[in-house]
Amino acid sequence: MLRFLIRRIAQGLLVLWLITLVLFALFFIVPSNVARTLAGRQAPQATVDLISHRLGLDLPLWRQYLGWIGRALRGDLGFDYYHQVPVTTIIAQALPVTLSLVIGAAILWLAIGVFNGVMSAIHPRSFLDRSLTAFALFFYSMPSFLLGLLLLYFFYFQLTLAGLPIFPPGGYVPLSEGVVPWIDHLILPWLTLALVSAAIYTRLTRGSMLDVLGEDYIRTARSKGISERRVIQRHGLRSALTPVVTQFGIDLGTLLGGAVVTETVFSLPGLGKASLDALNQQNQPVVIATVLLASTAIVVANIAVDVVYAVLDPRVRLN
């Protein structure tokens, strides 16, 4: 198991190094005129050259790359071009918002999706199966921004007009200010992400469970008189979780880089909004930092998925 884990971590580090090369090529080698953008269109060339020198953009490419990697490894991701604050400060302010959004939604969509998928699989072609399938297809076809706007319309606007201001219109309240206000501001964003994502997990779990329940070892377990609940939980569900774990790792890693649409709809100052603002301003250090953070989250999530694979199916360690 240890050798398996070391090999996966080494592969993940290699992928991260290749990502840094691609990022450097995109933002430092591909022609861009950051200094001119910061100086303004009417600024003299001397001002542009001075800004380039201060940002280190006039150094040889290999020195720029080594300097950038060295600073990043020390936790220095540069300075915001427009606000003159460390990029780490912006990340530190935005990351808790995105973590709160994604982790809460992930718990909901995993619970809803796996439960619905198992119920559909153990009652195939029944009214319950068809109802849950229709539920999954409905929300799978629903764009997240549209679902978010609908939730705001019905649960904020209409309830407020009716004199029941239960849900706020958006924004974020830190957990340090209280659990109830924190949940109150995040429950609609959680539902937006969870309902769309749970549809995928419902279909994945149902299909995988149907395949597993037809295996010989399941019939053997039933013939030994093991209760149906134990057959489902101990024998069926464990084997059926493999594709679910794969999808969960990909979704969680991707969303940790910023749930741009949901954060925009609900005015959440997370990584998605920070990266979108940085793109509009051509604020390279913030864009690079958010892309690097998102890439790291995806690589770490994939390593975690491989480890869970090895726990669920020991045969994976031998391949």
Show me where the domains of the chain are located.
2-73, 91-314
Compute the average pLDDT of residues 293-305.
84
Q: Check: CB of residue 109 under 8 Å from CB of residue 189.
A: no
Q: Which residue has the higher pLDDT, 159 or 83?
A: 159
Q: Which of 235, 291, 226 has the alpha carbon at shortest distance from 91?
A: 291
pLDDT at 107: 92
Q: Please check the confidence at residue 319 and state whether its pLDDT lies above 60.
A: no
Identify the CATH homologous superfamily for domain 91-314: MetI-like (1.10.3720.10)
Spatial distance between the Cα atoms of 153 and 160, rounded to a whole number of angstroms: 10
SS3 content of the chain, % helix, strand, coil (to 5): 80, 0, 20
Q: Which residue has the higher pLDDT, 222 or 112?
A: 112
Q: Check: CB of residue 172 under 8 Å from CB of residue 181.
A: no
In the numeric block, the tokens 């239960």 are attached to 166
What residues contact residue 59 under an 8 Å CB cut-off, 6+ apart?
Answer: 67
pLDDT tier, 182 (very low <50, low <70, confident <90, very high otherwise): very high
Spatial distance between the Cα atoms of 64 and 21, rounded to a whole number of angstroms: 12
Q: pTM, whole model, 2 decimals? A: 0.80
In the numeric block, the tokens 């957990």 are attached to 175
Q: Please check the confidence at residue 189 and state whether its pLDDT lies above 90.
A: yes
Spatial distance between the Cα atoms of 90 and 270, rounded to a whole number of angstroms: 9
pLDDT at 57: 67
pLDDT tier, 316 (very low <50, low <70, confident <90, very high otherwise): low
CA distances in angstroms from 55 to 35, 49, 192, 209, listed in the order given? 8, 10, 41, 56
Compute the average pLDDT of residues 241-254.
81
Q: Please check the confidence at residue 299 and state whether its pLDDT lies above 90.
A: no
Burial of 262 (0-12, 13-18, 19+ CB in 10 A): buried
Q: Which residue has the higher pLDDT, 47 or 172?
A: 172
Spatial distance between the Cα atoms of 57 and 34, rounded to a whole number of angstroms: 9
Average pLDDT of the chain to the nearest whole number: 82
pLDDT tens, residue by residue, 42-79: 667 777 777 677 766 667 777 778 887 888 888 887 77
Q: Which of 79, 80, 63 has the alpha carbon at shortest distance from 24?
A: 63
Spatial distance between the Cα atoms of 263 and 69, rounded to a whole number of angstroms: 30
Compute the average pLDDT of residues 151-165.
87
Compute the average pLDDT of residues 27-56.
67
CB atoms within 10 A of CB 25: 12
Query: DSSP secondary structure string, 192-227?
Result: HHHHHHHHHHHHHHHHHHHHHHTSHHHHHHHHTT--
Spatial distance between the Cα atoms of 167 and 191, rounded to a whole number of angstroms: 13
pLDDT tens, residue by residue, 1-17: 677 778 888 888 898 88
pLDDT tens, residue by residue, 104-152: 999 999 999 999 998 988 888 889 989 988 888 888 888 888 899 999 9
Least confident of 32-46, 86-100, 134-148, 266-280: 32-46
pLDDT at 108: 92
CA distances in angstroms from 196 to 106, 141, 180, 215, listed in the order given? 11, 8, 24, 31
